[in-house]
Each structure stands twice: as C-alpha cells, then as structure tokens.
Amino acid sequence: MNTIQQVDHYTLEKLLGKGMYGEVHLCKDDRNNEARVAKLILKEHNGIRDKSWAHETLALNAVAGVNGVPRMFATGSTDYHNWIVMDLLSDDLEVIICRNENKKFAKATGYQILWQVVKILKDIHSKGIVHGDIKPNNLMVSHSSNMFQLVLVDFGCARRFKDVNGNRTPPAPYPSNCIKGLHIPPHSALGMPHMEAEDIMQVAYLSCLLRQYAPWKDDDEFKMTRKKMSLALNPEKFLEEHQDLLPVIKLLAAQKHYAEPDYIAILDLLQQMLHSSGGGLANGSLNATVVARAIHLP
C-alpha cells in the first residue's frame, strides 16, 4: 500500500489496523489538534473495484446525527485510495470480552448490549439504512464524561432500503463472497435482499456470540445456513445452558422479512430481562471501567 501522510486537513499518525483492503490510522486535525481516525480503502484489490467506501459514505451521511453511529468528518480520494475520517473510539467488544477471565460477558451486560444495538438499529432503519454486518468487532465503546455507550461501526455493507418518499426499495442481494460469515442470516445467504429483519436476526446471533457460543457454526456454509434456519424455528434445541436467551431469540427470529420489526416489543423484553438479572436502565451507561487505558466490561 502506498504511503500516505496527509488527507485533507488531517495528518496520519499511528497505524491502528491493517487488512487486505486497507488501513486504519490515528490522525490529527491540523486545525484544532483533535484526534480522529482515518480509514484508507484501496480503490482496487486483485482487479476488483471497491464498493464499500461508496456504501459507507452514503450510509453515514444518511444516519448523521443518530446516537450510536460514528460521525464522519471528511471523505475523499487519492490516486489509489478512498478515505474517511471519523470519530476516534475505544475498543470493540471482541477485544473487551477477551479481557474477562472466562472470555464471556455477564448476562446483565449482554442484555444491555443487545438493547443498545436494537435501539441503534431502530434509529438507522428509520433513516432507510440497513447495516448488514452486526458482530462483536463492529461494536465499539465510546467513553465520555463517565458515560460508556455502544457505537455501531463499519457501514461498508450498509444498504439503502427506502427511497426519498419512504417506500421500500429492496437493495440488491449481497455478492456470494459476503454471505459466508457466522452472522449472516439465511435470507441473505440464499440471495435475498438484506432488510430490517435480517439486521434484527443478526442481533440473535450476537446474543450467543457475546458468550463465545455459536451452535450453528459449520465449516460447510450450506449446512451452516440450514442450522441457522433450524435455530430460528427451534432455538431451545440449540441453546443448551443458555436457555435464558430463548424468549429474545424467539422474538427476534419472529420478525418478518420485508416488514418493519416490532422494535418496542424487543426493547421492552430486553429491559425486563435486564431488570430481572439485577441490571438498571438499558439506555444508561454500560457498567464499564477503565484500567490502564483499557475498557473492561463484566
């Protein structure tokens, strides 16, 4: 990847992450010295033109001002890259969970995380955007004034599913190389448009992944899709010692493709589950602490 030191008013500093398709850097706004993060995406990789930058910038513009999504400060292109400058956030849930001795989150923590994710989805769906890639490493924690809140990041798979008049206009199905993940719902894996209900089903998978549990996992992608379909129909057969998740997974899986989910029922159920487990208000701060600049969640 060609070395870039500057994009617009931002000086690139520490490399935070690197993959086949690009890099993420800490950067500094030269006008006020504020720390941000710059995402550099190769315009082309192995002869394939990147489309994620266009999807991400369109989505972030559409959901600007929604709580729980990163702010986009600037975007543009160089000869070889497209780039986005966004909020600098803390660790993602995949990193945070590994700091716990048992590599899991407590039930109350998990319920609150799920509530906050569903609330974010309700808000971005109201703007006509589906996310399509809800998993632990795309959920980061923001920390400000002793408040810890979830932020849903990486809108590279996001799609617009409503036109300017609010009418449903299902997006094109995802390409075949995007449908093999643990968190991809059967409708999407089978070539149907990813709509609100598919985002909601990804929350069901997230509820298990927060406990390092994925009973539908299979090296054969077709067998895995069939297991996901069975999980949606009979979750009690998969959950083993995690039967406390049964009510919410049933409700999440019951949401209809092409229809608006019953967000209020889902949020109310998760708040009840949180209260029953000894937690407080789901929309409050996560019960996090900072030790040696690292966020910890029980």
Given a contact cutoff of 8 angstroms between Cβ atoms, the answer to whether 286 and 280 are in contact is no
Cβ 138 vs Cβ 124: under 8 Å: no
Cα separation of 81 and 101, whole Å?
A: 40
Angstrom CA distances, 245 to 18, 111, 147, 207, 259, stand at 35, 9, 27, 7, 23
Phi/psi region, residue 191 (left: phi>0; alpha: psi -120 to 50; beta: rest), is: left
Amino acid identity at 32: N
In angstroms, the CA 255 to CA 273 distance is 19
Check whether 135 is labelled as a binding-site residue.
Answer: no
Q: Where are the beta strands (DSSP E) in the chain?
A: 6-7, 10-19, 22-29, 35-42, 44-45, 48-49, 72-77, 81-86, 129-130, 139-144, 147-152, 159-160, 289-291, 294-296
Gap between the Cα atoms of 1 and 68, Å rounded: 31
Q: How far apart (Å, rounded) are the C-alpha atoms in residues 40 and 115?
A: 31
Q: Which residues make beta-bridge pairs with 40?
A: 23, 83
Binding-site annotation: residue ranges: 43
Binding-site annotation: residue ranges for ATP: 43
